[in-house]
Amino acid sequence: MKVENDYSEQDRILEVFKDLNKYSLEIGIFGSDDSFMAMIANVHEFGMTIKPKGKWLTIPTKEAGNRTAKDIPDLFKPKGVNALVVEDKRKRGRNKDGFIVMFWLAKEVNIPERSFIRSTFDEKEDDWFEFFQNRLDDIVLSKITAKNVWEQLGALITKDVQNKIREIKTPGKSELTLQRNPSKNNPLISTGRMLQSVTWKVVKR
């Protein structure tokens, strides 16, 4: 009796794994989508010391709101005070010197590291690998495509990174930042724009 091996199923499974290897997954905030938010995310992820191009950095107070120094007329720097102020014309005793601080002046600002991407990968990598493994049978049985699995994994990782952003509490916001946003104590969430900018892309290798 002649025994013949049927390699067709083996070949099909090999093709499935070849299809998987055609793709890779990118997670984060992409400069091509929002370069400013990608820059902000990078600052928080790794921390940064910001130094002025000139003599001082101008740090806005609650009184300045979203205005820059150019937007506020009659600013001046009182002698011996590292601040830009305006005269308090309302004379309500808000400042014993009779002025309102609009900007504090600083030689540098240190933004601490608040990793939300690398730390999530460190904590969740094993869970993602298990998620991927559990879907291999579905790919082999043609219940789902390789690209679909990468998409599902991308959605899962994005959700975990966004949850990390919501959970981070330390290092906390500076006292000056809290004065400007007293109701928001999460250091990575101000408007929610960075949170919503986290996404994924499935790309061909």
The DSSP line for 46-68 is H-EEE--SSS-EEEE-TTTTT--
What are 87's strand-pairing partners?
99
Confidence (pLDDT) at 152 = 95
| Cβ atoms of residues 100 and 86 within 8 Å | yes
**Bond from prior residue into 182 cis (ω within 30 degrees of 0):** no
Q: What is the C-alpha to C-alpha distance for residues 160 and 120, in angstroms, rounded to an integer?
A: 7
Confidence (pLDDT) at 92 = 54
Confidence (pLDDT) at 95 = 53
Q: What is the C-alpha to C-alpha distance for residues 62 and 158, in angstroms, rounded to an integer?
A: 33
The burial of 7, by beta-carbon neighbours within 10 Å (0-12 exposed, 13-18 middle, 19 or more buried), is given as exposed
Confidence (pLDDT) at 3 = 44
Please give the sequence-ordered ranges of beta strands (E in DSSP) within the chain, or none if there are none: 23-28, 48-50, 57-60, 83-87, 99-106, 109-111, 199-204
Q: What is the C-alpha to C-alpha distance for residues 178 and 86, in angstroms, rounded to an integer?
A: 22
Mean pLDDT of residues grouped by 10 in the chain (205 residues)? 56 76 92 87 93 90 88 91 86 64 92 94 95 87 88 96 93 76 74 92 90
38's enclosing H/E stretch is: helix 31-46
Q: What is the C-alpha to C-alpha distance for residues 109 and 92, in angstroms, rounded to an integer?
A: 32
Place of tokens 């994924």: 200
